[in-house]
Amino acid sequence: MRSIIVLEHISLDGIIQAPGGPEEDTSGGFAHGGWISSYSDEMLETLLRKQMNSPFDLLLGRTTFEIWEPYWPQHAAIWPNVNRATKYVASNTRTSSNWQPSVFLSGDIVEKVATIKQQQGPDLHVWGSGNLIQTLIKHELVDTFWLMIYPLTLGEGKRLFADGTIPAAFKVTESKVTPTGIIVVNYERTGAITTV
């Protein structure tokens, strides 16, 4: 069985929208794109490389796929595994791409992702893909959150844990704080929450 690992750059107030650049995702009038740029440091780069070099396939929403589709084939030296990985793309409008291997999932995404999880293969990494993540969270399909928590608030934008997030308990399996103050933490799901 494969695990679904959500990997996100996230602000203190839970925003995951457009961390990489000003044009990445301006939906909803978001004007803070590129908010991670001043926090990069060697420790974060080392931790990211470890994730990027592990065996994985990708599970992406259509918008994230379309941002990555023209970029990564031209930058293979930075992240060779991204081009080799199977890219499972949740989309009701796309059916093909020159960026291979790619598999487009339409219709009942929850059922299709649950089936893929049961297959043999590497873990499924989810980057960006805010709408898809909300669906995965609501249907208890996320096994692990690998978060890079930045020491800033944005006040608006797409949130990792939006309306519809279900109660769940997690344990920290690894954590580090980088020199620029980014908390890099791995949360693995342990089941239901316990109350008094």
The torsion angles phi and psi of 33, rounded to 5 degrees, stand at -55, 140
Question: Is 13 a residue whose pLDDT tops 90?
Answer: yes
Per domain, the residue ranges of the chain are: 8-22+33-183
The model's pLDDT over 118-161, given as tens digits with 9 standing for 90+, comes to: 999 999 999 999 999 999 999 999 999 999 999 999 999 999 99
Residue 91 binned pLDDT confidence (cut-offs 50, 70, 90): very high
Class of domain 8-22+33-183: alpha beta
- All residues at 6 or more sequence positions from 14 whose CB lies less than 8 Å from its CB, including other chains: 159, 160, 161
Does residue 164 register a pLDDT over 90? no
- Quote the pLDDT of residue 196: 84
What pLDDT is recorded for position 146?
98
One DSSP character per residue, the chain reads -PPEEEEEEEETT-B-S--S-TTS--GGG---TTTTGGG--HHHHHHHHHHHTS--EEEEEHHHHHHHTTTGGG-TTT-HHHHHS-EEEE-SS----SSSSEEEE-S-HHHHHHHHHHSSSSPEEEES-HHHHHHHHHTT---EEEEEEES---SSS-BSS-TTPPP-EEEEEEEEE-TTS-EEEEEEEEES----
pLDDT category at 163 given cuts 50, 70, 90 is confident
Rg from Cα positions in the chain: 16
Q: What is the pTM of this model?
A: 0.95
Residues above pLDDT 70, as percent of the chain = 100
Per-residue pLDDT reduced to its tens digit, 15-34: 999 999 999 999 999 999 99
pLDDT tens profile 47-60: 999 999 999 999 99
HSE at residue 188, side-chain half, CA atoms within 13 A, is 6
